[in-house]
Amino acid sequence: MNKLSKDSTLRQTIDEDSVGQRIDNYLMRRLKGVPKSHVYRILRSGEVRVNSGRIGPDYRLQAGDQVRIPPVRTAQKSEPRMPSGPGFKPVILFEDEALLAIDKPSGMAVHGGSGVSFGVIEALRHARPQAKFLELVHRLDRETSGVLLLAKKRTALVEMHRQLQAGETEKRYLALVKGLWTERKRIVDLALEKYVAGSGERRVNVNADGDHALTIFRLERRVGPYSLLDAELKTGRTHQIRVHLAHLGFPILGDDKYGDFPLNKSLAKQGLKRMFLHARRLAVRHPMSREKIIVEAPLPPDLLQFMEASKRHA
C-alpha cells in the first residue's frame, strides 16, 4: 500500500513481494532516475525511516514494515525503446502465479546494459505493466537461446536463488562443437578465473586459483565433422560451458569469444550466424508447492537446419 503525504513524502507498507530485499536495492527500484549516490545519502542522513527508526543500507525488509521515503527529484528519462515492428513476443514454456519460463531467442540480451538499451526483462516489464514484480532467476548469454526462468514474486526469487546456490536444480544445454568427441560421458572439473582483456572485454579462462567449476558432458551424436554434446551444469560460472570446451580443444561452433575464428567465418557463409549453444532443459522444485517442474525448449529451426546441412555435406 502506498500513501503520499502533503509534503510528497512517500509512505509504504511492505508486502510479501518485497520481504527479504535490502532497503538500498528496494529504494533504487522505487526511485528510478535517482543517482545511486543520492539514495545512499538519504539513507545515511536518516531521511529514510523504517517503522519510524533509522536503518542502514543492508537492512532487509520484513512483512508489514512501514517505510518512509522523503521527496526526491528524479531525472526525466525516456523509456527504453522496444524493438520495432511486431515487437518481442516471447514463447511461454511455463507460467503460474510464482514463475514464468520463456524460450529466449538468440541475439537478445537478458537485460539492458553494456550498450544494449533493453533486454528480455525490460521488454517483458514493458509488455506487462500490471505486473507488480518480475525478476530474472538466472541469466543466459546474449547468443544463447532456450529456457530462461523468471520470478513473479520475491519469495519465489529468493527460493530459486537458494536452489541454484545449493545445486538443487538441473540445467542442461546442447552444444555443437568442432571435432569428433569420443567419450560417452566426461566429467570436467576445472576452476575458472575472470579477467579483463586488453580490449576491456570481460573474459574467463581455466586457472587452478579460480572458482570451482564442474560440467558433465555427454555425447548425443556426431554431425558430420562435428559433435553434438549435452552439457549439464553442476556449477554456474560465467561462460563455463564455452571455456571448458575451448580448453579441451572442442570449441563451440560460432563462439565469438573462445571459438575457432577462421572456422566461424566459414560457418557464417554456410548459414550458422550465431553460437550453437541452447539451454534445452531446466528442472527445479516449485517454490510454493515443492513439486518438481521440468521445462524444456526445442532446438530452434536455424540450428536444426545447420545440422541437417552439415550431415549432407559430411
Enumerate the active-site residues.
141
| Strands 277-285 vs 292-296: parallel, antiparallel or unpaired | antiparallel
Q: What is the distance between the alpha carbons of residues 229 and 206, in angstroms, rounded to a whole number?
A: 20
Taken in order 237, 241, 244, 246, the sign of the CA dihedral is: negative
Give dist(CA 17, CA 223) in Å, integer: 47
Q: What is the CA radius of gyration of the chain?
A: 22
Q: How far apart are CA 294 and CA 132, in angstroms?
A: 25
CB atoms within 10 A of CB 302: 15
157/216 Cα distance (integer angstroms): 26
Q: Which of 54, 49, 24 is nearest to 39 (CA)?
A: 24
